[in-house]
Structure 1
Amino acid sequence: MDSQNTFDIFIVATPGLEDMLLAEVTEKGFANPVASPGGITVQGGWPEVWRANLQLRGASRVLTRIGSFMAFHLAQLDKRARKFPWGDVLRADVPLRVQVTTKASKIYHAGAATQRIETALRESLGVTISPEAALVLKVRIDDNVVTISLDTSGDALHKRGHKEAVGKAPMRENLAYLMLRQAGYTGTETVVDPMCGSGTFVIEAAEIAMGLNPGRSRHFAFEDLASFDAAQWGAMRDTPTTSTPLRFYGSDRDAGAVRMSRMNAERAGVADAVTFENHAAGELSPPDGPPGLVMVNPPYGGRIGNKKLLYPLYGTLGQTLLTRFKGWRVGLVTSEPPLAKATGLTWKPQGPAIAHGGMKVWLYQTPPLR
């Protein structure tokens, strides 16, 4: 596999938001995107792998298929794994972790298959196998076809590399992006978050408006592969950013959350476009300028002890928005439909459930408030 070859690249999605990720992948010009449960497959070479990791805000990971062969028993797996051109992609000096899954195949013992592949890698390329390695080789044996993929991301892609401070129940950045997108945000309007936590929605909205690449300040697993071209990657990563006349606003009744948000905005390079204030949702008033989007992820579900205490909070939020935010759209994330109802806002039909932090949540949306 050289950088000119094309192969399958699988872009992992948050379950329930595959359509939103497909729209982003299509917009960014990746070739032949096809959605399936769990993600989007595109075609491309190594530069597309690097670009997907760098530019896609909604992706969780980027996996690259580096080859496949048939194997009906362990001896055959052993022989073919030794002949596989590992050196085209892997470096002998970079430790590796091997994960094998088997399904509907004559080779049904994943542990034995893992052992064979690890031995082939050690003996044919001299790779160190380590359970702590950041680089993961994923082998799937399905219907006797052995498909070999690499996780080219390393850390999950919601880890943008410039956010250190997070609250108790953080919204992952890629999920925040997909929800902003679902709420119709394109980087051309103001976003307000009255329960901002560590500032994820506000910072993400500002980055989009400024044209900042989400992966601009972090390391990726693909940088440790034999196929990596540092000069080409450097040119791709160092793209100019634009300033924005828009401003983005977050507030929270927790002073610690406001401090965290300010630090995170500073590190992300968007501090000049955002304002964070310390007050309760009931004290919220709209900023000057045309209406935009209110995006909020209030407390709910397992994050909170006594749910009864939340009804007044949601009620106050809804009342504040109805009286002061005419013309604004609202996006609200919750795991509890009765809490969404308690706001008194008129919601559009409920969309699909979204997996978030081990629970199901929904993004509730209003048309412009009247």
Structure 2
Amino acid sequence: MTSRPNAPRAASPSDAEPARMEIFLVATPGLEEPLAEEARSLGFDAQVVPGGVQFHGGWPEVWRANLQIRGATRVLVRIGAFRAMHLAQLDKRARRFPWADFLRPDVPLKVETVSRKSKIYHAGAATQRVEAALKDSLGVTIAPDAEMVLKVRIEDDLCTFSIDSSGDSLHRRGYKEAVGKAPMRETMAAMFLRQCGYDGRMPVLDPMCGSGTFVLEAAEIAAGLNPGRARHFAFEQLASFDPAAWQQMRSTPAPAVSPEIRHFGSDRDQGAIRMSLANAERAGLSDWTRFDCRPISDLERPEGPPGLIMINPPYGARIGNKGPLFGLHAAMGEVLRERFGGWRVGLVTSEVPLARATGLPFEDPGPYVAHGGLKVRLYRSRPL
């Protein structure tokens, strides 16, 4: 097989129209629908499929999905598939696969395999065959800690190869270094904001802000900033990567929007406020946000139009006991009803009785969402 240079290949003006591939957005279980809505709002022809959202496109669409989509955990690219009824057939066809069109020999690789309802039932043996094919045909190094991951799925005797184009999980935006206990991932926070109808044109307040996730996600949306603007992606080490085109896409300026509406976070823990302030500064959102140390009882309504209150309070499953939390939720509901007329509330909890304890006018809760071993739901209220 002809060897390829180690440097990434840049596209030339004579290149044909980029091949359309299946692009798969991995969703947090329970948040597939809002993720599909977000992808469609960004111009992707996205459909919900088991485990996430799927659409078709070329490598520029892969880059843009990683850069712009807030709710996906990862972006997988399906690069090929074939039938394989036994290990020898898998070995033969894997050696014929055009790996050099996608992978670079100088970039270490990890292979992950799952197999179900197939004659090739031993995932470990299948992994060994694919790894051998990669080493012999491309000369790539196999490393268990490699950032570049090739996912092999064998289902009903169909072997599908996918590349994880993201690397680190996409909830790692690149600026949030400080986190508190039981943090909510940014990808989840973005989807809960979307489900509450947040569009960047209203203030958001989180009275239990922790490290500031809800507030910072809302401020990014309002400021028109891409969530992946400050991080590295695995696709930057693929053979198809065009550094100049990526730099142009990444450097596209955000809309010139002044922070007329700020976003507010408060917490009774001074350490949490320090974390939020540091995260906001790293994200370039200090002008868009304000964080104060105060308990719920001292919460004040900000000046300006009504907005959205987003809360991820303790559920009792990980932090403390449930008993005292009923009083906390009741007091929180009373403060919000008395001081925040016209505002709406989004509350995330695993406990239906705690949501009811607030006395807030919640509509039927959303679907169950996987969150760190728990099943949580979003409760949304009418205007208070």
Give the structure 1 partner of residue 97 of structure 2: 84
Task: Confirm whether residue 61 of structure 1 aligns to residue 83 of structure 2.
Answer: no
> How far apart, in 1, do the equivalents of 2:154 and 2:62 lie?
23
Give the structure 1 partner of residue 341 of structure 2: 326
Which residues of 2 match residues 46-57 of structure 1 at below 5 A? 46-57=59-70
Give the structure 1 partner of residue 237 of structure 2: 224
User: How far off its partner does 1:259 sit?
Assistant: 0.3
- The structure 2 residue matched to 1:103, chosen from 94, 97, 116, is 116
3-state DSSP of counterpart to 2:365 = coil
- The structure 2 residue matched to 1:264, chosen from 274, 279, 284, is 279
> How far apart, in 1, do the equivalents of 2:283 and 2:318 lie?
27
TM-score after normalising by structure 1: 0.98
Offset from partner CA, 1:303-340 (integer Å, 9 cap, x none): 22211011111111100000000000000111111011
Give the structure 2 partner of residue 20 of structure 1: 34
Give the structure 2 partner of residue 191 of structure 1: 204
Give the structure 2 partner of residue 255 of structure 1: 270
> How far apart, in 2, do the equivalents of 1:232 and 1:217 lie?
17
Which residues of 2 match residues 98-247 of structure 1 at below 5 A? 98-241=111-254, 242-243=256-257, 244-247=259-262
Which residues of 2 match residues 305-324 of structure 1 at below 5 A? 305-324=320-339
Offset from partner CA, 1:4-63 (integer Å, 9 cap, x none): 1001000111111111001001000013x1102321110000000000000000111000
Offset from partner CA, 1:278-326 (integer Å, 9 cap, x none): 0001111110011000111111132222110111111111000000000
3-state DSSP of counterpart to 1:240 = coil
Please report the RMSD computed on the Cα atoms of aligned residues, expressed in angstroms.
Answer: 1.1
User: How far off its partner does 1:73 sit?
Assistant: 1.1
> How far apart, in 1, do the equivalents of 2:313 and 2:124 lie?
44
Give the structure 2 partner of residue 301 of structure 1: 316
3-state DSSP of counterpart to 1:8 = strand
- 1:2 touches 1:88 (CA, 8 Å); kept in 2? no
- 1:2 touches 1:227 (CA, 8 Å); kept in 2? no
3-state DSSP of counterpart to 2:317 = helix
- 2:316 touches 2:325 (CA, 8 Å); kept in 1? no
Give the structure 2 partner of residue 367 of structure 1: 382
5+ unaligned residues in a row in structure 1: which ranges? none
5+ unaligned residues in a row in structure 2: which ranges? 1-14
The amino acid across from 1:13 in the alignment is A
> How far apart, in 2, do the equivalents of 1:204 and 1:300 lie?
22
- 1:170 touches 1:197 (CA, 8 Å); kept in 2? yes
Q: 1:3 to 1:282 in 2, by over 3 A?
A: farther
The amino acid across from 1:52 in the alignment is A
3-state DSSP of counterpart to 2:194 = helix
User: How far off its partner does 1:107 sit?
Assistant: 1.1
> How far apart, in 2, do the equivalents of 1:173 and 1:350 lie?
21
Give the structure 1 partner of residue 301 of structure 2: 286
> How far apart, in 2, do the equivalents of 1:94 and 1:2 lie?
26
- 1:3 touches 1:46 (CA, 8 Å); kept in 2? no
The amino acid across from 1:185 in the alignment is Y
3-state DSSP of counterpart to 2:104 = coil
Alignment identity in percent? 62
The amino acid across from 1:116 in the alignment is R
User: How far off its partner does 1:2 sit?
Assistant: 8.0
Aligned residues: 368
Task: Confirm whether residue 348 of structure 1 aligns to residue 359 of structure 2.
Answer: no
Give the structure 1 partner of residue 12 of structure 2: none
- 1:301 touches 1:335 (CA, 8 Å); kept in 2? no
- 1:66 touches 1:150 (CA, 8 Å); kept in 2? yes
The amino acid across from 2:286 in the alignment is A
> How far apart, in 1, do the equivalents of 2:180 and 2:135 lie?
42
> How far apart, in 1, do the equivalents of 2:363 and 2:81 lie?
46
Q: 1:130 to 1:3 in 2, by over 3 A?
A: farther
TM-score after normalising by structure 2: 0.94
> How far apart, in 2, do the equivalents of 1:150 and 1:3 lie?
21
